[in-house]
């Protein structure tokens, strides 16, 4: 991995393939993985079933998890190993804005200010996009028990929040990928073209859309 892409983060809504792509990129680029720990959040299955009841503890648990992971990255930053993550810290308050009531959100922001580390800035963020219908299909196909309660309405809100967020995101270079019509997990040709695109130094924002080629 060249110095321009020493730290890559893969982002996008639930079911779009962030973790699978992050693992494949790490293997190709001989990089360390920094992966979310959704299964370790004890509130998540209940949140998907009854979101209003446990929205705040669900969100705070994710915040604490991600903060610990990024603190470890900062402590080891002197050695600068190549890294591929399947999240950025800002996603935490993106989801908080979708899931929390106003009074809970105010409390969350106070906690966030106190516990969130100064997160390392990715050299490149790969933002994966797909329609809600495709996401629902992929979520169902992968068969994770704790995701069975995900509602389409909730996923629509998440997709809209991601669209708004990345419309204004300028912290890192962004490669926006239409993940609906490409197979970046098992498809060799699509994946190799993505690797080439990652290696090309573009401006602050670029696009990867094979359908448009």
Q: 182: buried, middle or exposed (CB in 10 Å: 19+, 13-18, 0-12)?
A: buried
- 5 has pLDDT over 90: no
Alpha-carbon distance of 122 to 34, in angstroms, equals 12
pLDDT in the model for residue 50 = 87
What pLDDT, on the 0 to 100 scale, is given for residue 79? Answer: 58
Condensed to tens digits (0 to 9), the pLDDT of residues 20-42 reads 999 999 999 999 999 998 999 99
In this predicted structure, what is the pLDDT of residue 76?
64
Q: Which residues contact 1 (CB under 8 A, 6 or more apart)?
A: 8, 29, 30, 31, 82
Percentage, residues of the chain above pLDDT 70: 93
The residue among 37 and 106 whose pLDDT is bigger is 106
The answer to whether residue 212 scores a pLDDT higher than 60 is: no
- pLDDT at residue 119 greater than cutoff 90: no
Q: pTM of this prediction?
A: 0.92
pLDDT value at position 80?
60
pLDDT of residue 213: 45
At the topology level, CATH places domain 3-212 in Rossmann fold (3.40.50)
Asked if residue 211 has pLDDT above 80, the reply is no
Kindly state the helix (H) or strand (E) to which residue 126 belongs, with its residue range. strand 124-129
- Which tens digits make up the pLDDT trace of 81-102? 789 999 999 999 999 999 999 9
């Amino acid at each position: 991995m060249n110095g321009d892409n020493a730290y890559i983060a893969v982002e996008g809504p639930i079911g779009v393939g962030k973790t699978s792509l992050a693992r494949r990129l790490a293997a190709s680029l001989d990089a360390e993985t920094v992966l979310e720990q959704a299964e370790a959040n004890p509130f998540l299955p209940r949140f998907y079933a009854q979101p209003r009841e446990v929205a705040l503890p669900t969100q705070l648990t994710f915040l604490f998890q991600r903060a610990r992971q990024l603190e470890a990255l900062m402590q080891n930053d002197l050695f600068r190993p190549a890294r591929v993550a399947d999240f950025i810290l800002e996603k935490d308050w993106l989801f908080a804005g979708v899931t929390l009531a106003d009074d809970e959100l105010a409390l969350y922001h106070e906690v966030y200010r106190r516990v969130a580390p100064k997160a390392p800035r990715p050299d490149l963020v790969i933002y994966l996009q797909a329609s809600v219908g495709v996401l629902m299909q992929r979520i169902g196909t992968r068969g994770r028990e704790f995701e069975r309660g995900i509602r389409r309405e909730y996923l629509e809100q998440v997709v809209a929040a991601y669209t708004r967020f990345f419309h204004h995101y300028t912290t890192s270079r962004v490669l926006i990928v239409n993940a609906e019509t490409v197979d970046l997990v098992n498809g060799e040709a699509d994946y190799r073209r993505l690797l080439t695109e990652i290696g090309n130094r573009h401006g602050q924002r670029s696009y990867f859309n094979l359908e448009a080629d």
